[in-house]
Amino acid sequence: MHVLFVIDPLPRLKAYKDSSVAMMRALVARGHTLSVAMQGDLFIDAGVVQARATGIELVADADLHGHHWWRDTGAAQDVPLSRFGAVLMRKDPPFDMEYVYSTHMLEYAQAQGARVFNDAAAIRNHPEKLAITEFAELAAPTLVTRDMARIKAFHAHHQDVIVKPLDGMGGTGIFRLQAAEPNLNAILETLTEDGTRTIMAQRYIPEIVQGDKRILLIGGEAVPYSLARIPLAGETRGNLAAGGRGVAQPLSERDREIAAIVAPRLAARGLLLVGLDVIGDYVTEVNVTSPTCFVEIAEQTGFDVAGMFAQALERAAA
């Protein structure tokens, strides 16, 4: 199978811990070939969705901390997406209008026979923070609004809340507002841009000190281990990008219960790979753009997450 990765520029990837690179390595080990394209390489000509794609091969025994872990196998060529065995959308956020346009092009490509994962419309229709509202019974009390008066009332009721932008990643823009927050007005004015930008508020979940768990769902099944991203002392964000420490651990009974509810529903929509963020007993995000943590879980437990993904992709693209 020839697999196209729509991805960020390869030199920017930290190959030693990047989940997309782990996918590539697992696919190559199973005899598949690879090409890559950037988001800007997607185009439509005469109604046909194509990509300016470059074939690559992985360098055996390469130092994954360096920049020479792959090599091009030839010049870039314009190729209809329908000619690939699978197209993996692994472009990282921001989820801006360019990203939306890309999902539209990928959706048109699917109508032309391309096999795109995750499904383009499903990615577009599952904003990662808002998506938890579909599973309200699994989430902590949550408010989504741009109305500062409503947010203040929510804060007054729960006393300890987290507020965050809907389009942030890696823990950016997240604030904890405790009962006596002297900068409440300034924080809300900044996040909502004076009431013109919608944000999310959630009741603070104290179990964050035990980690913000990433649970991976692949092909409708849960990886049996999560990665608990434990915040630095004095931090409220467990994101690895914010300095959190990742500790792999077996799924708890509650984790499995959550996965059993969420996984089949999302898999039925063409979401082959989903990353649930779970704090304590509550789902806090449903990540569908480019979920990560493959390498950390594999290194600490020996479970071949990328291999599980490769097998699921083979089944889905057959």
**Alpha carbon of 99 to those of 89, 128, 145, 307: distances in Å?**
10, 14, 23, 28
Residue pair 37/53 in contact (Cβ under 8 Å)? The answer is yes
Give the position of tokens 């092909």. Answer: 219
Q: Give the catalytic positions in this structure.
A: 129, 164, 214, 229, 237, 277, 285, 287
Question: Torsion over CA of 74, 80, 82 and 84, rounded to 10 degrees?
Answer: 10
User: Hey, what amino acid is at 231?
Assistant: P
